[in-house]
Each structure stands twice: as structure tokens, then as C-alpha cells.
Structure 1
């Protein structure tokens, strides 16, 4: 009976390997071109959809500034047009990101085993969900707090002229910075999946991880006070511990041990 189980597992491994098609360099380049064209098409559709709502999107972006009684100031005739285009491009890219990620997955999936392909939907859901969570956290808590501290507190004795270029750059730095930062569990997932790190390694070096997280928080935090830095660092620490749990579940050694126990 045990011999039959071993033969079944060996047959499954062979089947997995057969599923990996051999592709020449030109085939890879052709596939890459196809995925890039599809990604550009999705990005163009996202841009068009976002531009249809560009007035509402700009109002949404400007709301943290309006809440303290200010609006953006034009310093060049093309500032408004550039704002509409930049807003539409960024929002269009966010709208198209699930489809673009799927194209990335389609490009790399031929080189993966069948048991590894089951991660496609968790990967896409986690990547998009964590980015949106980081962006929402920045918009809901960090930006309003930064506007109050930087403008109403530190800048209360000065005349305020917040230009379109300066505000949008600041807005994108906070939103995109936190969105990317929230992808930490996804990065740890892939590092653990390929056996580069494991949960034990991450816990053993947690003091260095905490130091790195606070250094990153100090760099991307828009306010100079320690409270703002802690506000940035706190979710990153939670995400790091979440990544430890993910690393424990997906590390190859644990998966192998589970398969051996099941056998």
C-alpha cells in the first residue's frame, strides 16, 4: 500500500513537470510582448474611465486641504490640465492593476508547477487589497493629520499658498508610499515560498526588522513629530507579524513535512 502511495506521488510529480512547457527565447519574447500589449490596453481603458470622473477625483484629492479652509493654487496656465491628466493616469493605473497583475501571472505561470498555480487568486486579492488598505489608511488618517500639523500648527504664522504641483506630489507620496508599504506580507510570502526566509528567521531578526521599519517610517512620514512616525510604523509592524504567519504556512519545509505526515 505504501509502495502504491509513493508511486502515486511520483506520478503526480512527473505530471506537474510535464505541465511545464518548453519555450524558446523567441517564444518568451512573443509572450512578453503579448502581455505588455494587453497591460497597456487595460491601462488605457482605466485612464479613459478615470478621466470621465476627473472632476470628482480632483475634489476627492483636494478634500483634506479643503477641510482646513484652503484650496490648491495655480502658478502656470497648464497646471489644471496637468492635474487632470496626472490624476486620471494614477487612478486609471489603480483601476487596471488587477488586470495587469493577472497578465504578469499569465506570463510567469507556464514556469510554475500545478500546485503553485493555486496561489494566483490569493496573490491578486492580497496584493490589491493590501495596497487599497494602505492608500485608505493614508487618506483617512495620515493626510488629514499632516494638513493640520504642517499648515495649521507649524505654518499658522505664514501666508498659505499651496500649489497644485506641490500638493499633488505630497498627496501621491503619502498614498502610494503607504500603499506600497502595505505590500510587506506579499513580499514575505514570495521570499518564504522560495525558501529564502522562514518564520524562525524573521522572528530571530525581529529587532533589526523593527529598526528598519522605523527608519522607513521616518523617511516616508510627512510630519517631523514622533507621533506621526509611530502612526506610520504601527501598521507596518502588524503587517510584519502577519508576514511571519504567512512564512510559517507556505515555507517549503513545512509543506514537505505536511505531505510526509499525510502520506
Structure 2
């Protein structure tokens, strides 16, 4: 950890010394940050109202895996609430969640605009791959969780507790759904995080490969946290794509690391 902090400090110092862009004062940085936060907040509010307009359809999509699992086990498919306000709170919760997903591309673009003054001119070309990869990887993670991990986990849980009659409360089910789907969607963003760290020279392919054993440990800890079942098999199902993404991240780091880019520029000249 100390080594990583030192790498970050050295990389940021080097960029400050080498950048050709005029420096910004603290007040200018704060004004820029405020502007990006305001734009992002407006996008989140708009996303919330759009999602709320379709809240029943969204919940229908969320409810489909549990309904299918209940039908397969010949159980009542009606979910329950403990008090009248639970349904309203649940609709607000899913509207906030899916509104944030709708607004995410614009929020990410605001993030890019905020950090872009600290990038070199040739690094700003990464904005399009960054946007496409970020949204695409999140959707891949959510798709993987929705169509494979979540239904499989529900099937395991119902098979394991056939002697009981389930009374599934909607808010608890919503929390479980969000944990699995959003957890996997965010986890699939690992290559993007590594790309930024490598772009600024904070980590390198050698560093990532050297510490792969620690990465495997952290990946299994994260998988244990977000997996909805206690069995080892499901945890491995969660961890497997994360391990693959880590290996992909090493390749991404190799491509965008400053040392590699300088070598390609030297060969081209």
C-alpha cells in the first residue's frame, strides 16, 4: 500500500512538471468541480423522473426471476409487504437506482470533463473508448447477473429450503436484486479503474502481475460479500469473471501505461 501511494505521488508530480496546460488555481478547480456536480445532480433528477414514469414496468422486470423460481417450485408468486408504505418506498428506491443508471453516461462524461485538463492532448482521445467501455462493461455485468447468477442463486436457495413456505418481502427482495445486479455491474468496471491508474502511471503491468495473489484474495473477499448464497460454488461463479477481468486489466495496463506509449512513440519516430 505504501508503495502504491508513493507511485501515485510520483506520477502526479511528474505530470504536473510535464504538462503543457496552464495551471488552474484552487478556486478555479473548486468552481469546475461545482459545475460538474450540479450538471450531474440535474441529470440524476431527470433520470429519476424518467425511471419513475416506468416504475411498474421496471419492477416487473426485476420481479421476473423470483416469479419464475417460485413457479418452478409450485409456490405462490405474490410478494408481500409489512406495512402500506413499503410498496411506495420500493418504487422510489428502484426509480432512484435505475434513474442513476440512465444518467450514468452523462455523469461519467462530466467526470471526464473534470479530469481532462490534467491529461495530455494525445490522452484525450480515450474519451470515446472510455465511455463505450464503461457503459458496455456495466451492462455486461448486469446481464451476466440477471440471466445467469441471480436465477441460479434463487434456484439453489429454494431447493435448499423446500421444507419452508417462503413469504418474500418486496423491499428485501429489491435489496438482494440490487446487491447482485449492481454489484456485478460495478465489479465489471475493473478494467476501467486499472486503465486510469495505468494512464497516470500509478500502477504498471509488472506491478499488477507481481501482486496477483493479493488480487485473487481481494476478489474472493468481494465475491463473498456480494454473493447471495453461502455456498462456495456460487462464490466461485462470482469470482471467475472478476479474475478474467483482472487478467484483461493487466493487458489494458500494458497498452496505456506511459512507458509503453513512450516506447511506441520512439519506435514510430
Same fold? TM cut 0.5: yes
Other structure's SS at 2:203 match: coil
Which residue of structure 2 lines up, in the alignment, with residue 32 of structure 1? 33
Question: Does the CA-based 8 Å contact 2:209-2:250 persist in structure 1?
Answer: yes
Q: 1:23 to 1:194 in 2, by over 3 A?
A: closer
Question: Does the CA-based 8 Å contact 2:48-2:100 persist in structure 1?
Answer: yes
**Which 4+ residue blocks in structure 1 deviate beyond 6 angstroms?**
none
Question: Does the CA-based 8 Å contact 1:62-1:72 persist in structure 2?
Answer: no
- Taking structure 2 as the reference length, the TM-score comes to 0.87
Which residue of structure 2 lines up, in the alignment, with residue 47 of structure 1? 48
**CA distance in 2 between partners of 1:213 and 1:31 (Å):** 35
| Largest Rg, 1 or 2 | 1
Which residue of structure 1 lines up, in the alignment, with residue 145 of structure 2? 138
Task: Please list every run of 5 or more consecutive structure 1 residues that lacks an aligned counterpart in the other structure.
Answer: 1-15
Which residue of structure 1 lines up, in the alignment, with residue 68 of structure 2? 67
What are the residue-to-residue correspondences of 1:1-263 with 2, within 5 Å?
17-18=19-20, 20-69=21-70, 70-150=77-157, 152-263=158-269
Other structure's SS at 1:67 match: helix
**CA distance in 2 between partners of 1:139 and 1:227 (Å):** 17
**CA distance in 2 between partners of 1:34 and 1:196 (Å):** 27
**CA distance in 2 between partners of 1:200 and 1:28 (Å):** 33
Which residue of structure 2 lines up, in the alignment, with residue 3 of structure 1? none
**CA distance in 1 between partners of 2:78 and 2:144 (Å):** 22
How many residues align structurally?
246
C-alpha displacement at 1:211, in angstroms? 2.6
C-alpha displacement at 1:17, in angstroms? 4.5
RMSD: 1.5
Task: Please list every run of 5 or more consecutive structure 2 residues that lacks an aligned counterpart in the other structure.
Answer: 1-17, 71-76
* Larger RCO (CA under 8 A, 6+ residues apart): 2
- Taking structure 1 as the reference length, the TM-score comes to 0.88
